[in-house]
Chain A
Amino acid sequence: MSDDDVAAVGSTVAAPVRASHEPPERDITDGGPDMVQFLAADGTRVPLTEVNSPYAAYLDELDDEALRGLLRDLILVRRVDSEGFALQRQGELGLWPSLLGQEAAQVGPGRAMRPQDYAFPGYREHGVAWCKGVPPENLLGMFRGVNHGGWDSQANNFHLYTIVIGNQMLHAVGYALGVQKDGDVATGDPGRDTAVMAFTGDGGTAQGDFNEALVFAAVANAPVVFYVQNNHWAISEPNERQFRVPPYRRADGFGFPGVRVDGNDVLASYAVSRAALERARGGEGPTLIEAFTYRMGAHTTSDDPTKYRISAEVDIWKAKDPVDRMRKHLLAEGVVDEAWLREVEAEADELARRIRHACQTMPNPPHEEMFEHVYAEPHPVVAREAAEFADYHAGFDD
């Protein structure tokens, strides 16, 4: 297509479509003036502005212990992720979806939730799982092919991973409708009022289920927070292939607030999530949060991002690293020192060893177990096939 052709097309449509090989016209690493941020990429506190000041009070509640806790989470979650990646490369896992680069985008909301708040993840929310208290080794079963979800979701109020993109957004809304019916909203009892948090990515915003979830939540004023981690890549497709209007601005059309937050700034993602969760628990309805972040690794271990994105883009985001940012900040503030960091690194090493050991010693399930739990009540077809299967294999015993 010549430049003239582009101009001709551009005269008839609202915005000219750029060819996919051209660099973006705008800086995709810049979240723009609406983005809530408290920590600059170099770890310094940014001044209070009209945009971030409504959330500042939540940070005042964080004492040094809580701040150290956030950094510890970031470091440990990154180690969980790198161990998952390594286990896949060594053949212990069939697949691993890395969260590298999204640690702060997940630890913020993870720590903003109360125990009674219920999270509905996609499949990359290892950081949220960590904050909700799901043992990381329990995440491995599904990636090792041992089960489809090896944790008790009701024990930690963290639902099983959902692989079909966007399905879980509606589950979150339905759960929130149940919370409403139970009267667990706006009672003023901090141990009772409950919010639900639904996680997806930029790719998920294109799904019908995502948009239906926003409609259903809006009309019911449901206590739910939609949390979109815009990591800029839906496997190989950039934001430009997903939407023309950034996700946070879509909320306005559905009738509730939308906020863009710096997803690489754990203080910002924490504070914005706190505000949205309190709104939900207080009966004020849903919020859509877009965490502006970046998928530093591949979509999963089966993906090769060098085929579709340039390393310069990755380098820019490397300079915005969420873990380094919080580490620099707390070092500069004197909240942590090198000795504390060494302790956490040692803790991370021990955690990695624990995960590795759990993975390597995870037994294959007995094959007859594949017939279990298809139905809650007895079912003749499953029972018959299970019996035939057992008989068939018993024939090889001799």
Chain B
Amino acid sequence: MTSTTPDLTTPTSTAQRTTIAKALNAGMRAAMERDPKVVLMGEDIGKLGGVFRITEGLQKDFGEDRVIDTPLAESGIMGSAVGLALRGYRPVVEIQFDGFVYPAFDQIVSQVAKMHYRSLGRLPLPIVIRIPYGGGIGAVEHHSESNESYFIHTAGLRVATVSTTDDAYWMMQQAIASDDPVVLYEPKRRYHERGVLDLGGGLPDLADAPHRLDEAVVRAEGSDVTVLTYGPMVKVALAASQASELEDGPSIEVVDLRSLSPLDTGVIEASVARTGRCITLSEAQTFTSIHSELAAHVQQHCFYSLEAPVLRVGGYNIPYPPSRHEEVFLPDLDRVLHAVETVMAY
């Protein structure tokens, strides 16, 4: 497998090579400088900087009042974030690992998602829920899940994910600036991958962000097959696209969804209209999931363009297996290319 990380910005005098982890950190820092009501909450996010060091240095610079080490209780974190938001704060909550979000599920689904609706628009909850997600790091149980489908199913939430340093920096700030609650998924396996990020000078203007929070982006253009993907799998999709090109195989277009709820249906439909074939690619299990929604949407809205059924390449419909299995559980280059061959055979 090739290991190309796309550099999506043209290096300039103020551009620098950085990691997704550091870009997320820089995004939070900028948001905190921009708005004194932004507070970070989570387990071990203070002195330690979080178990992935995403909040490193922020407590030192912004104080314990704005970077809060909470007791170890996810519902407690989420519920008190609701109260802080009601008081006018913009909490950014770190869930330590994907599989630890479930104690907070009740607060997220019953309260965070519904407060604006049930208050007839009087009570917005500008909360960001950061979740490191996905597998491939050899972790123990509950540390490798892709559970985004639970949250895209829930009206009232926005769900987005990053796949580049640039997005990490800008989408973090856009999520924090949103008056809606946003679940921001961070591909933990790719935290330390490098890319170019132009921090410019001083505090950036959010209007200068290269893309909106809810915008999908074509990462590689192609003419035969559209791969709809996001987060950790963008890298796999790009590798498949390049491999196929090198072998004079089918031309694969890679669409990075970025926003999982709402979906940028314009970009999706335009791509499938061009290629006539569609594969969904994600670590999430396929049954009743983001895959299902994408497949349903494409068949309904691109019906006359389709040359083949939509195929789903994802996690198998089992609990995340022990990590010795993950190299075959997680979609890889070969599974993507196999799916491409299958849709091309129609």
Residue A21 at the B interface, CB < 8 A?
Answer: no
From 117 to 133 in chain B, residues with beta carbon under 8 angstroms from any chain A beta carbon are 117-124, 126
Give per-residue flags for B84-101: 1 if the beta carbon is below 8 A from chain A beta carbons, else 0: 111111010000000000
Q: Do B73 and A215 have beta carbons less than 8 Å apart?
A: yes
Least Cβ distance of A66 to chain B in Å? 30
- Whether a CB of chain A sits under 8 angstroms from the CB of B103 is yes
In the bound complex, what is the Cα–Cα distance between A159 and B118 (angstroms)? 11
Question: B300 at the A/B interface (Cβ < 8 Å)?
Answer: no
Interface residues of A in 127-172 (CB under 8 A from B): 147-150, 152-154, 159-160, 162, 164, 167, 169-172
Are B88's CB and A178's CB within 8 A?
A: yes
Residue of B nearest to A173 (CB): B80
The answer to whether A167 touches B87 (Cβ under 8 A) is no
Q: Chain B residues with Cβ under 8 A from A376's Cβ?
A: 116, 121, 124, 126, 178-180
Within 8 A of A (CB), among B138-169: 155-156, 158
Query: Do A216 and B84 touch (CB < 8 A)?
Result: no
Q: Is B79 an interface residue (CB 8 A)?
A: yes
CB of A181 within 8 Å of the partner chain: yes
Q: How far is the CA of A167 from the CA of B103 in the complex (A)?
A: 12
A174 within 8 A of B: yes
Smallest Cβ-Cβ distance to B85: which chain A residue: A174
Q: How many angstroms between the C-alpha atoms of A212 and B43 in the bound complex?
A: 14
* Residues from chain A with Cβ under 8 Å of B87 in the complex: 174-175, 177-179, 182
- Most chain B CB neighbours (cut-off 10 Å) among A148, A176, A215, A375: A375
Select from chain B the residue with minimum beta-carbon distance to A120: B83
* Interface check A342, CB cutoff 8 A: no
| Stretch binding the partner chain, chosen from A36-44, A67-75, A377-385 | A377-385
**Could you say which of B91, B117, B155, B158 contacts A148, with CB atoms under 8 Å apart?**
B117
Contacts of B70 in A (CB 8 A): 216
Shortest Cβ distance from residue B40 to the other chain A in the assembled complex, whole angstroms: 13
A208 within 8 Å of B by Cβ?
yes
* Of the residues B83, B88, B91, B106, contact of A171 by C-beta under 8 Å: B83
Complex alpha-carbon distance, A252 and B122, angstroms:
37
Q: A171 touching B111 by the CB < 8 A rule? A: yes
Q: Note all chain A residues with C-beta closer than 8 A to B178.
A: 376-377
- Return B311 CB to nearest CB of chain A, in Å: 24
A48 → chain B closest CB, angstroms:
38
- Distance between Cα atoms of A372 and B86 in the complex (Å): 20
Bound Cα distance from A310 to B123, whole angstroms: 43
Q: How far is the CA of A176 from the CA of B85 in the complex (A)?
A: 11
User: In whole angstroms, what is the CA distance A381 to B261 when docked?
Assistant: 9
- B119, A149: Cβ atoms under 8 Å? yes
Tell me the total A-B contact number using a CB cutoff of 8 A.
137
A92 lies within 8 A of chain B by Cβ: no
B83 and A172 contact, CB distance less than 8 A: yes
Among A208-247, those with CB < 8 Å from B are 208-209, 212-213, 215-216, 219
Task: Determine if B10 is an interface residue (Cβ-Cβ < 8 Å).
Answer: no
**Distance of A215 Cα from B70 Cα, bound (Å):** 10
| Cα distance, A377 to B103, chains bound together (Å) | 28
Q: What residues of chain A lie closer than 8 Å to B214, measured between beta carbons?
A: 380
Per-position binary interface string of chain B over residues 155-194, scored 1 when its CB falls under 8 Å from any chain A CB and 0 otherwise: 1101000000000000000000011100000000000000
Nearest chain A CB to B53's CB is how many angstroms away? 24
Q: By DSSP majority rule, is chain A's interface helix, strand, loop, or mixed?
A: helix
Which residue of the partner chain, among A154, A170, A219, A373, contacts B83 with CB atoms under 8 Å?
A170
Q: How far is the CA of A370 from the CA of B81 in the complex (A)?
A: 27
**Is A394 part of the contact surface with B, judged by Cβ < 8 Å?**
no
Contact of A159 with B75 in the complex, beta carbons under 8 Å? no
CA distance A373 to B114 in the complex (A): 9
CB <8 Å contact, B89 and A208: no
Instruction: Give the distance to chain B from A254, nearest Cβ to Cβ, in Å.
Output: 11
Instruction: With CB as the reference atom, state the residue of chain B lying closest to A142.
Output: B118
- Cβ of B82 within 8 Å of any chain A Cβ, yes or no, is yes
Alpha-carbon gap, A174 to B107, bound state (A): 13
Q: Could you tell me the distance between the alpha carbons of A343 and B204 in the complex, rounded to whole angstroms?
A: 65
Asked if B57 lies at the interface with its beta carbon under 8 angstroms from chain A, I say no
Decide if B110 is an interface residue (CB 8 Å cutoff): yes
Report A180-199 CB contacts with B as 1/0, cut-off 8 Å: 01100000000000000000
Q: Kindly identify, within residues 247 to 265 of chain B, every residue whose CB is under 8 Å from any CB belonging to chain A.
A: 261-262, 265
0/1 interface trace, chain A 269-291, chain B, CB 8 Å (1 if under): 00000000000000000000000
With beta carbons under 8 angstroms apart, the residue of B78, B119, B155 that contacts A153 is B119
Given contacts A170-B75, A171-B79, A212-B73, contact A181 B119 (CB under 8 A): no
- Residues of B contacting A174 in the complex (Cβ-Cβ under 8 angstroms): 79-87, 91
Given contacts A171-B86, A177-B83, A380-B265, whether A373 and B120 have CB atoms under 8 Å apart is yes
Shortest distance between the CB of B98 and any CB in chain A (Å): 20
User: Given A170-B107, A171-B82, A216-B70, are A377 and B119 neighbors across the interface (CB < 8 Å)?
Assistant: no
Complex Cα distance, B40 from A13, in Å, reads 45
Q: How far does the alpha carbon of A41 sit from the alpha carbon of B71 in the complex, in Å?
A: 43
Contact of B80 among A148, A154, A170, A381 (CB under 8 A): A170
Q: Give every chain B residue within 8 A of A380 (Cβ-Cβ).
A: 214, 262, 265
Most buried by A among B84, B87, B110, B114: B87
For the complex, give the distance between the alpha carbons of A215 and B74 in Å.
12
Please name 17 further chain A to chain B contacts, defined as beta carbons within 8 Å, in addition to the given A175-B87, A379-B262, sorted by A numbering.
A164-B110, A167-B111, A169-B79, A173-B80, A174-B80, A174-B81, A174-B91, A177-B80, A177-B87, A178-B89, A181-B39, A209-B75, A209-B76, A209-B79, A209-B106, A215-B76, A375-B158
Q: Which 9 A-B pairs have the closest CB atoms?
A: A174-B83, A170-B79, A178-B87, A174-B80, A212-B76, A148-B118, A175-B83, A376-B179, A373-B121
| Residues in B lying within 8 Å of A, measured CB to CB | 39, 65, 70-71, 73, 75-76, 78-89, 91, 103, 106-107, 110-111, 114, 116-124, 126, 155-156, 158, 178-180, 214, 261-262, 265
> Which residues does A use to contact B, with CB under 8 Å?
120, 147-150, 152-154, 159-160, 162, 164, 167, 169-179, 181-182, 208-209, 212-213, 215-216, 219, 372-377, 379-382
Q: Give me 18 A-to-B residue pairs in the complex whose CB atoms sit less than 8 angstroms apart, sorted by A's number.
A: A148-B118, A160-B118, A169-B79, A171-B82, A171-B111, A173-B80, A174-B83, A174-B87, A177-B84, A178-B86, A178-B87, A208-B73, A209-B106, A216-B80, A373-B116, A377-B178, A377-B180, A380-B265
